[in-house]
């Protein structure tokens, strides 16, 4: 057993209102740059719908993820190592811009500069790729709220599959039945196929927290990762020629802050926390024969952080004590493995995804209410879940490789929680038979309710800080001229767009800045080894290190220096 | 034969200057410009033509490189020792070399056509790229010319294995056989000079991606773990992109320039 820690996320789809705040704040934080105009590390899809890029779930076309070969061995669907190298000169199944969408802006200048006249000036859409006038035909969420689904609805790969299996009996009944939003980020998989596809070995999983990142220095732009990722969550920056992906906001997570998408989520539907897992068991778990058993296999890989044996092994592997403690308090572990209400997205891709989803019960409740029933009565809800085959099958294709029983079990738990808590809120005695009917006890159900409905900030986000205190040298290790606008930092260098050295991310500055803002004292500078970061200095006093040491002569700095 | 100063400079000095620039340039760029070291693929913009042209060019080029190795490095005496007649060698060299050369030229012609006619691809083409394309195409064209000349001249044609090849090998033992090279016809001189020009600009163009051909992929484990604080050599390092979480300045840095097209809105900021 090799215990490793993994940051994970759970999204409660019942709470998603499809406001796209997560997408917008993520874009502002990470991808509002040239070359990533079309890139959304976080996007929100309306399901049923084609998704972004369009029909990314159709792996017969995009060849993402893993499959078992004839001998039952786990291989990349896009082909083995030799085949990949032979196909390297033109990545054969890479989505094109038209599969995402052609990003655009508007010619706002016309609105301001147009001369006085009878006609209203118009801001024409301009392509951000060519700069020419363009016609907007698609975007990352063009089919938002089932927009155009009468025309495009059948193009959803899962609708296709569910229909095929039900032999076309269902003709767009799903439209009236349900709709929900699916926010997606990188899954930060335990068995990432993007990483396995990368010829350069530039994609790596961080030992400390399992976040999957692209080393921008080692990426050579072979683009095989774009093919390899079945979720199509690796994007090619067409200006820098490098692959980029969701970073799980690692600079924030390292200092204990939730990701931007989680922090800004209006519905508070996201949970962040740690999993402890057995790294040695991952490959075997990803290679179980029956895709519907992948969920169970994935569950077995996740270790119980309350088990003393697991804790001892974690300590032996050098996982810090506060991380083990955070794993014990982890909301994502609770939702995924204790309450078993969070499911992985498309386990059949065999990548062991680590972003989990609580499937939505609301379509069922809404339908019952619309039909005049009591949508929160346990009996009604249980009956409806069983009767509503279409949404359950659809959800099963998303979350359990088609196993409807598992999805039904989760929905029944959510329904039971509603009824149980409604009884309590109405002042009745807790009806213990409701939790028992879904295999839970009242206490556990109440705790689940607390985590899912009350969802306090500290309970939703249990993020242990990175142990950067040993790694102070991370910051400002580069040449002192490599700051923004420094001489080495031209936008376009002679070797094409954006060559040159990157500036290291400074975790330390965050801490220094916050200490400075909250302490009220002078800049301590302890992390900076006697130097002062002028960007953080707000003019209050003269911290030690601001000026060179003047020697024994008493000066104005003496008072400041005397402070502890 | 008297060696002129020009001969000495071209075939005795220039090759070593070329090697110094190539090796020095590659080392320097590898050290200081990892972020710029990429294929700079334009497949996202257009893939229909690329899917044909790029493999055609690259596989053609691999065959051409193999042919150069065979012709330049393996001495004539060796092929004769294994019973390969000059005629047989010549025929094969012309046939295989011709096919590879035409494939490569066709590939690059298609790639240049695509680059010029596809709007976004042309917009992403830097001056550096254009220079590189000129030199690369010239090297291929002149190389093919030497081959075609040989075809038309038949058996009376020039045998480069008695002039160019000995000179090429002599360079490695630091005793350049300038006289041998000086005897070669003009077409070979031209091809060699343009070839050397190509190697001189190589480290400073997108062609560097050839030097990081990922053969390592065949042997590495699929899943790569790496510590946050340390790179693969165990050294501490800054991590992933040059993402800034702190500085008030909005000045651009590699990979972080603002969205916009260069024709209109950036001008108005």
Predicted local distance difference test score (pLDDT) of residue A361: 87
Predicted local distance difference test score (pLDDT) of residue A443: 94
The CA distances from residue B174 to A86, B2, B9, B16, B197, in Å, are 37, 20, 15, 9, 20
Alpha-carbon B247 to chain mean position: 40
Write out the two tokens for A222. Answer: 């072979």
A contacts of B224 (beta carbons < 8 Å): 195, 198, 201, 203-205
Write out the two tokens for A524. Answer: 């301590």
Burial (Cβ within 10 Å: 0-12, 13-18, ≥19) of residue A389: middle
- Would the CB atoms of B119 and A236 count as touching at under 8 Å? no
- Would the CB atoms of B242 and A195 count as touching at under 8 Å? no
Predicted local distance difference test score (pLDDT) of residue B253: 58
Residue A561, SS3 per DSSP:
helix
A contacts of B220 (beta carbons < 8 Å): 201
The H or E element that residue A181 is part of is strand A180-184
Write out the two tokens for A396. Answer: 């099963």
B contacts of A217 (beta carbons < 8 Å): 34-35
List for chain B the helix, strand, coil content (%; round to 5): 65, 0, 30
A contacts of B257 (beta carbons < 8 Å): 33-35, 239, 491, 498
Q: Please give the torsion angle defined by the CA atoms of residues A469, A474, A475 and A479, in that order, rounded to the nearest 10 degrees.
A: 150
A234 in Cβ contact with A243 (< 8 Å):
yes
pLDDT surpasses 50 at B250 = no
Which residue among A33, A131, A499 places its CB closest to the CB of B264?
A: A131
The CA distances from residue A417 to A330, A427, A449, A510, A530, in Å, are 21, 16, 7, 41, 56
Q: Per-residue DSSP letters for A358-395?
A: E---HHHHHHHHHTTS-TT-HHHHHHHHHH-HHHHHHH
Which residue among B44, B55, B217 places its CB closest to the CB of A199?
A: B217
- Would the CB atoms of A216 and B54 count as touching at under 8 Å? no
H helix and E strand count, chain B: 10, 1
Positive or negative: CA dihedral A352, A357, A358, A363:
negative
A contacts of B37 (beta carbons < 8 Å): 220, 499
What is the CB neighbour count within 10 angstroms for residue B192? 23
The CA distances from residue A79 to A72, A84, A355, in Å, are 15, 6, 26
- Would the CB atoms of A199 and B45 count as touching at under 8 Å? no
Contact residues, A window 433-452, toward B, CB-based 8 Å cutoff = none
A8 in Cβ contact with B221 (< 8 Å):
no
Report d(CA A109, CA A478) in Å as an integer.
40
Chain B closest-CA separation from residue A522 CA (Å):
19
Predicted local distance difference test score (pLDDT) of residue B230: 56
What are the start-end ranges of the H helices in B75-212? 76-81, 86-117, 119-123, 127-153, 164-172, 178-183, 186-201
- Would the CB atoms of B218 and A82 count as touching at under 8 Å? yes
pLDDT tens digit at each of 564 positions of chain A: 899 999 999 999 999 999 999 999 999 999 988 899 999 999 999 988 899 999 999 999 999 999 999 998 999 999 999 999 998 998 878 899 999 999 999 999 889 898 988 988 999 999 998 888 999 999 988 888 888 777 777 788 888 887 777 655 455 555 555 788 999 999 999 999 999 999 999 999 999 999 999 999 999 999 999 999 999 999 999 999 999 999 999 989 988 999 999 999 999 999 999 999 999 999 999 999 999 999 999 999 999 999 999 999 999 999 999 999 999 999 999 999 999 999 999 999 999 999 999 999 887 777 777 777 777 777 777 877 777 766 788 899 999 999 989 999 999 999 999 999 999 999 988 889 999 999 999 999 999 999 999 989 999 999 998 875 544 433 334 344 444 444 434 444 556 555 555 444 555 566 666 666 666 555 444 455 566 667 666 677 777 777 777 666 554 444 444 444
Q: Does A72 touch chain B (CB under 8 A)?
A: no
- Would the CB atoms of A205 and B224 count as touching at under 8 Å? yes
Predicted local distance difference test score (pLDDT) of residue A231: 96
Report d(CA A65, CA A63) in Å as an integer.
7
Report d(CA A343, CA A407) in Å as an integer.
8
- Would the CB atoms of A90 and B237 count as touching at under 8 Å? no
A398 in Cβ contact with A419 (< 8 Å):
no
Which residue among A130, A471, A491 places its CB closest to the CB of B229?
A: A471
A55 in Cβ contact with A61 (< 8 Å):
yes
Q: Mutation test of the interface with chain B: which of A503, A512, A513, A514, choosing the one with the most B Cβ atoms within 10 A?
A: A503
pLDDT, tens digit, 9 for 90 and up, residues B184-219: 889 899 999 999 999 999 999 999 999 999 999 999
A188 dihedral zone (left: phi>0; alpha: psi -120 to 50; beta): left
Chain A closest-CA separation from residue B202 CA (Å):
11
Predicted local distance difference test score (pLDDT) of residue B260: 60
Predicted local distance difference test score (pLDDT) of residue A487: 40
- Would the CB atoms of B264 and A107 count as touching at under 8 Å? yes
Chain B closest-CA separation from residue A424 CA (Å):
46
Closest CA to A27 of A123, A139, A137: A139
Burial (Cβ within 10 Å: 0-12, 13-18, ≥19) of residue B38: buried
Which residue among A251, A496, A500 places its CB closest to the CB of B243?
A: A251
Q: Does A113 touch chain B (CB under 8 A)?
A: no
- Would the CB atoms of A237 and B255 count as touching at under 8 Å? yes
A341 in Cβ contact with A413 (< 8 Å):
yes
Q: Per-residue DSSP letters for A385-429?
A: HHH-HHHHHHHHHHHSTT-HHHHHHHHHHHHHHHHHHHHHHTTPP
Write out the two tokens for A432. Answer: 């213990």
DSSP label at residue A291: G
Predicted local distance difference test score (pLDDT) of residue A504: 45
pLDDT, tens digit, 9 for 90 and up, residues B141-192: 999 988 888 777 766 677 888 889 999 999 999 998 988 888 888 989 999 9
Largest Cα–Cα distance in chain B?
Answer: 74
Instruction: Summarize the confidence of residues B123-145 as an average pLDDT.
Output: 93
- Would the CB atoms of B204 and A91 count as touching at under 8 Å? no
Chain A closest-CA separation from residue B111 CA (Å):
12
Which residue among A92, A223, A502 places its CB closest to the CB of B41?
A: A223
Closest CA to A91 of B47, B210, B117: B47
Between A8-22, A541-555, B99-113, B220-234, the lowest mean confidence (pLDDT) is in A541-555
Q: Residues A5-19, buried b or exposed e (16+ Cβ, 10 A)?
A: bbbbbbbbbbbbebe
Chain B closest-CA separation from residue A561 CA (Å):
27
Q: Mutation test of the interface with chain B: which of A214, A251, A502, choosing the one with the most B Cβ atoms within 10 A?
A: A502
A contacts of B36 (beta carbons < 8 Å): 493, 495-496, 498-500
Angle at A50 between CA A48 and CA A55, to 5 degrees: 135
What is the CB neighbour count within 10 angstroms for residue A164? 9
Residues 6 or more apart whose Cβ sits within 8 Å of residue A536: A509, A512, A513, A516, A523
Where do the domains of chain B lie, and which CATH numbers do they carry? 5-212 (1.20.950.20), 220-269 (no CATH)
B contacts of A206 (beta carbons < 8 Å): 225-228
- Would the CB atoms of A503 and B253 count as touching at under 8 Å? yes
B contacts of A92 (beta carbons < 8 Å): 51
Q: Does A373 touch chain B (CB under 8 A)?
A: no
Which residue among B33, B44, B246 places its CB closest to the CB of A510?
A: B246
Predicted local distance difference test score (pLDDT) of residue A269: 95
What are the start-end ranges of the H helices in A14-165? 21-26, 59-62, 81-86, 97-100, 108-113, 149-152, 157-165
Write out the two tokens for A36. Answer: 């990533």
Residues 6 or more apart whose Cβ sits within 8 Å of residue A208: A5, A466, A467, B227, B228
- Would the CB atoms of A238 and B119 count as touching at under 8 Å? no
A142 in Cβ contact with A101 (< 8 Å):
yes
Residues 6 or more apart whose Cβ sits within 8 Å of residue A283: A74, A191
């Amino acid at each position: 057993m090799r215990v490793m820690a993994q940051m994970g996320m759970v999204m409660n789809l019942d709470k998603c209102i499809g406001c796209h705040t997560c997408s917008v704040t993520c874009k502002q934080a990470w991808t509002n740059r040239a070359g990533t105009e079309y890139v959304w590390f976080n996007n929100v899809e309306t399901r049923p719908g084609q998704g972004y890029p369009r029909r990314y779930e159709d792996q017969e076309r995009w060849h993402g993820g893993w499959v078992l070969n004839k001998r039952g061995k786990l291989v990349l669907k896009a082909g083995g190592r030799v085949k990949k190298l032979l196909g390297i000169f033109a990545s054969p199944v890479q989505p094109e811009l038209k599969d995402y969408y052609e990003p655009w802006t508007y010619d706002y200048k016309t609105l301001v500069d147009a001369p006085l006249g009878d006609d209203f000036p118009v801001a024409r859409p301009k392509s951000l790729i060519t700069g020419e006038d363009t016609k907007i035909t698609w975007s990352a969420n063009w089919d938002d709220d089932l927009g155009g689904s009468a025309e495009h609805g059948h193009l959803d790969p899962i609708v296709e599959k569910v229909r095929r299996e039900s032999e076309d009996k269902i003709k767009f009944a799903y439209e009236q039945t349900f709709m929900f939003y699916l926010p997606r980020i990188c899954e930060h998989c335990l068995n990432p196929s993007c990483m396995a596809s990368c010829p350069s070995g530039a994609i790596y999983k961080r030992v400390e927290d399992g976040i999957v990142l692209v080393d921008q220095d080692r990426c050579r732009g072979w683009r095989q990762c774009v093919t390899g990722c079945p979720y199509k969550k690796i994007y090619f920056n067409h200006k820098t020629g490098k692959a980029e992906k969701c970073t799980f906001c690692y600079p924030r997570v390292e200092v204990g802050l939730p990701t931007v998408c989680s922090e800004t989520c209006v519905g508070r539907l996201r949970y962040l926390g740690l999993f402890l897992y057995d790294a040695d068991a991952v490959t075997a778990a990803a290679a179980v024969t029956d895709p519907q058993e992948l969920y169970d296999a994935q569950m077995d890989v996740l270790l119980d952080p309350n088990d003393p044996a697991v804790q001892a092994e974690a300590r032996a592997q050098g996982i810090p004590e506060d991380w083990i403690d955070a794993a014990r308090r982890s909301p994502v572990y609770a939702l995924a493995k204790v309450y078993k209400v969070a499911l992985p997205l498309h386990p059949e891709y065999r990548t062991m995804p680590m972003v989990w989803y609580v499937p939505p019960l609301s379509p069922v409740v809404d339908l019952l209410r619309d039909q005049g029933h009591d949508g929160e009565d346990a009996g009604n809800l249980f009956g409806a879940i069983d009767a509503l085959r279409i949404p359950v099958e659809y959800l099963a294709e998303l979350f359990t490789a088609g196993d409807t029983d598992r999805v039904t079990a989760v929905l029944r738990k959510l329904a039971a929680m509603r009824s149980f808590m409604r009884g309590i809120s109405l002042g009745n005695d807790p009806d213990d038979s409701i939790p028992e009917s879904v295999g839970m006890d009242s206490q556990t159900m109440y705790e689940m309710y607390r985590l899912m409905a009350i969802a306090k900030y500290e309970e939703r986000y249990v993020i242990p800080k990175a142990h950067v205190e040993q790694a102070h040298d991370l910051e400002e290790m580069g040449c002192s001229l490599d700051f923004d606008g420094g001489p080495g930092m031209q936008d376009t260098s002679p070797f094409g767009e954006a060559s040159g050295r990157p500036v290291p991310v400074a975790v330390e500055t965050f801490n220094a800045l916050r200490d400075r803002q909250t302490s009220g004292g002078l800049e301590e500078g302890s992390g900076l080894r006697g130097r002062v970061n002028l960007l953080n200095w707000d003019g209050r006093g003269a911290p030690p290190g601001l000026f060179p040491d003047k020697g024994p002569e008493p000066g104005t700095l003496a008072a400041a220096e005397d402070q502890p | 034969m008297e060696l002129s100063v020009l001969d000495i400079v071209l075939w005795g000095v220039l090759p070593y200057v070329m090697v110094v620039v190539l090796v020095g340039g590659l080392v320097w760029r590898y050290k200081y410009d990892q972020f710029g070291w990429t294929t700079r693929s334009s497949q996202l913009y257009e893939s229909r033509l690329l899917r044909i042209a790029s493999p055609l060019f690259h596989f053609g080029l691999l065959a051409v490189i193999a042919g150069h190795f065979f012709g330049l490095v393996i001495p004539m005496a060796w092929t004769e020792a294994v019973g390969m007649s000059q005629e047989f060698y010549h025929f094969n060299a012309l046939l295989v070399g011709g096919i590879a050369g035409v494939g490569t030229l066709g590939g690059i012609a298609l790639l240049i056509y695509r680059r010029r006619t596809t709007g976004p691809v042309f917009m992403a083409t830097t001056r550096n790229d254009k220079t590189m394309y000129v030199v690369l195409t010239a090297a291929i064209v002149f190389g093919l010319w030497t081959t075609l000349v040989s075809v038309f001249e038949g058996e009376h044609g020039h045998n480069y294995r008695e002039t160019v090849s000995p000179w090429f090998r002599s360079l490695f033992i630091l005793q350049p056989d300038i006289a041998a090279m000086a005897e070669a016809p003009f077409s070979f001189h031209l091809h060699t000079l343009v070839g050397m020009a190509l190697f001189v600009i190589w480290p400073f163009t997108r062609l560097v991606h050839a030097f990081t051909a990922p053969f390592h992929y065949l042997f590495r484990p699929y899943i790569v773990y790496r510590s946050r604080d340390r790179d693969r050599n165990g050294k501490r390092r800054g991590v992933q992109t040059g993402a800034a979480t702190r500085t008030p300045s909005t000045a651009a840095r590699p990979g972080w320039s603002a969205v916009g097209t260069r024709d209109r809105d950036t001008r108005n900021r």
